[in-house]
Structure 1
């Protein structure tokens, strides 16, 4: 539902395509099966804003979480940054809020000399500023690694050897990387945007993605 809620994070073509898609489904579907309570609330609210005169029937069935758990003896990937490293997994796009993550990392690098950051995810859209910042960062290729193409074995190794997982997104409809990290026993810090609190529950720590307040 995000293209209808936060158009500033998407280009015009994405907004038009998604809006026509969701409108057609609202016009013809008997029931919406949603992947989170957050997504359910969002589609119900969109239907209300459209002025639909019939109640929207919904159910929630969360996505499966039978992820592979990395073996304890899995070697550290060669692409991992040195020392203890923060791991953040997700497509590089505006709503993922990588700028806040880099701001926090920059504040911590002097205080914690062995702390590194691995950002895993391909470039999405409207990314020029953040990708240029990552490429031009003084620690790029060393303590800061942007890994835009990794296979499953490499990702498993990163989850196994990371110090902590951080998911700073402004909003998520589900939160798969949070569940992946927790399934691998990785301490997880996530924003309280959208469904991330549902995904992490009592096992994660949360913060305001517009600042630094924990919850």
Structure 2
């Protein structure tokens, strides 16, 4: 099978969409190396995370044939796909070329979330309308759709009227290193390097309104002092929202409890932090999936998460769920986790098993390939 991929995010994005693209291609190539994998990207960033994809024996790389990269990605790439004999093209982040449906080339598009429709405060009016045009076109004209959660599938059906039979829900796995626990000596060295010699919770994700970090600050302002352990905030974020959060932290004199780590680019260090933490707090209002939850579970870190959108799919039955608009519920969940050692141990063990059973790379690759075969029938 000769398969083409929109690889822009694979080479140019180090966050969620880029991680999704890299994980998908690595999984397919490892378990089904007999296929041809063609990567189409407007540019190539030669960094550690993209090195595997520069191997010409595993992947065929294709760059624009003109200097108008945006036009190429949306329009003229179709001629190149025909010339390269591509049988099926997979848009990995919500988009497919505009005229692809007028050719004999079959198409699949991955839809991660429709947050701009579900939460209209998350984006500007112009962005919402632009996304809506692109996403509606992709859902309407792709031969099949991969949704990364049941919640995303339901949103696609609800907002765009797409036949649910056209949509395959395929959960994504994490970076493969999270499936192999890191040794205690490595974990201790990471903590020493970062100057961490205390118990802590983790908050993983950019500081944006949707991530709901303000709720955590609000809860900490009233939490009993013996339950108020520091929180490591892993991620950058929206400058305006981060400024508001910092002002809220300063107002309640909580600076020593919120520790920002904005430059953690090594997933091995992230793995160590998960493994040594008291747990992950993830009170997001809306997510397409919620990959940090799965990362934490694989590292046997207990999880407290919102009971909204796709998060119960990621967290499974052994996560503590809270209403993201209810500070009292989060406060109670933190108290339960820190005061009940048996609960924490059970959450670690059973949460890990849930993640191993539901988010494996091999099953992921098999399901994606099954979607391709279904599309070509």
TM over 0.5: yes
Alignment partner of 1:55 is 2:163: yes
Task: Give me the TM-score of the superposition, normalised by structure 2.
Answer: 0.51
Q: 1:138 — aligned with what?
A: 253
| Structure 1 residue 139: Cα displacement | 3.8
Q: 1:187 — aligned with what?
A: 302
Match for residue 72 of structure 1 among 175, 178, 183: 183
Are the structure 2 counterparts of residues 80 and 169 from structure 1 closer, same or farther at C-alpha, using a change threshold of 3 Å?
Answer: farther
Q: 1:35 — aligned with what?
A: 148
Task: Give me the TM-score of the superposition, normalised by structure 1.
Answer: 0.85
Q: Give per-residue Cα distances to partners, 1:146-190, cap 9 Å, x unaligned.
A: 122212233122112211111000111101010000000001111
Alignment: residue pair count: 208
Higher helix share: 2
Counterparts of 1:1-215 in structure 2, within 5 Å, are 1-48=114-161, 55-56=163-164, 57-69=166-178, 70-73=181-184, 74-75=187-188, 76-79=191-194, 81-108=196-223, 110-112=225-227, 115-124=229-238, 126-127=240-241, 128-134=243-249, 138-140=253-255, 142-152=256-266, 153-211=268-326, 212-213=328-329
Structure 2, gaps ≥5 residues long: 1-113, 334-377
* Alpha-carbon distance in structure 2 between the residues aligned to 1:143 and 1:99: 13
Select the structure of larger CA radius of gyration: 2
CA RMSD of aligned residues (A): 2.4
Q: Which has the higher contact order (CA 8 A, sep 6+)?
A: 1
Are the structure 2 counterparts of residues 107 and 135 from structure 1 closer, same or farther at C-alpha, using a change threshold of 3 Å?
Answer: closer
Give yes or no for contact 2:221–2:254 (8 Å, CA) kept in 1.
no
